Amino acid sequence: MSDTSPFLTDSRADLSRAADALRSGDIVALPTETVYGLAADALNPEAVRKIFEAKGRPLLDPLIVHVADIDALARIAVVDSRLSKVAAFWPGPLTVVLPRQTCVPDLVTAGKDTVAVRIPAHPIFREVLRLSALPLAAPSANPFGYISPTTAEHVRTSLGARCPLTVDGGSCAHGIESTIIDLSHPSRVRLLRPGPISTEQLEAVLGPLEVVTHTSAQDAAQDAPGMLERHYSPKLPMVLFERGQKPPSLPPGTALILQSRRPTTPSHARVYYLSEHGDCVEAAHGLFALLRQVDQQHHSVIIVELAEPKGIGIALNDRLRRAAAR
Ligand code: TXA
Ligand code: MG
Q: Where are the domains of the chain?
A: 12-211, 238-324
- The pLDDT tens digits of the residues spanning 33-56 come to 999 999 999 999 999 999 999 999
- pTM exceeding 0.85: yes
Average pLDDT, the chain: 93
The gap between the terminal CA atoms of the chain, to the nearest Å, is: 35
Phi, psi of 231 (to 5 degrees): -170, 170
**What does the pLDDT look like over 109-129, one tens digit per residue?**
999 999 999 999 999 999 999
Strand segments (E) across 91-167: 94-99, 114-118, 136-137
The superfamily (CATH) of domain 12-211 is DHBP synthase (3.90.870.10)
Q: What is the mean pLDDT of residues 225-238?
A: 77
Write the CATH number of the domain with boundaries 238-324: 3.40.50.11030
**By alpha-carbon position, which residue is closest to atom 15 of ligand 1?**
139
Residues with CB under 6 A from ligand 1: 32, 34-35, 37, 61-64, 93, 95, 97, 109, 112, 114-116, 118, 138-140, 177-178, 180, 192, 224-227
Structure confidence by residue, pLDDT tens digits, 51-83: 999 999 999 999 999 999 999 999 999 998 899
Ligand nearest to the CA of 136: 1
**Which contiguous run of DSSP H or E holds residue 290?**
helix 280-295
